[in-house]
Structure 1
């Protein structure tokens, strides 16, 4: 089993009064993910940088771990 750590940034916006995820972005490392998330924070109601472990053979992912967050975010593991 070959696992790889991936870093993603997910902004959140309000749609009809509900919190909805925006377009996900990838980052090459944790520091870059946090830097991108911080830069996006002023444009969204919430933004978070996550780390996930991905099994490269099966595509299975671990529960996302929040590296940095700002504002309102929702649980993406649900």
Structure 2
């Protein structure tokens, strides 16, 4: 199998950890294409999704070989790790 491009929408949510809250990843969503990921990011920007923030990430994957390329952040919105 050849390497394929994957676009992932990664939401982040605030979770209560003891007396503090921490930013944690939510359930990632595989997108059909970059435009699908951008639509989801725009929903976060417009307050239509109840998440703290999100990133859209592109990476090359060859599952047969177990090769996962470096993720490339396409877009960010709201609170995300690293303050991007």
TM-score range, shorter chain: 0.7 to 0.9
How many pairs were matched up? 75
1:74 CA displacement: 2.0
Gapped regions of structure 1 (runs ≥ 5): none
Runs of 4+ in 1 over 4 A off after TM superposition: none
Kept in 1: contact 2:44–2:77 (CA 8 A)? no
1:58 CA displacement: 1.7
TM-score (norm 2): 0.77
CA offset digits 1:53-76 (Å, max 9, x no partner): 10132232112111111111126x
| SS of aligned partner of 1:49 | strand
Alignment partner, residue 50 of structure 1: 57
Q: Greater Rg, structure 1 or structure 2?
A: 2
TM-score (norm 1): 0.82
| SS of aligned partner of 1:18 | strand
Gapped regions of structure 2 (runs ≥ 5): none
| Root-mean-square deviation (Å) | 1.7
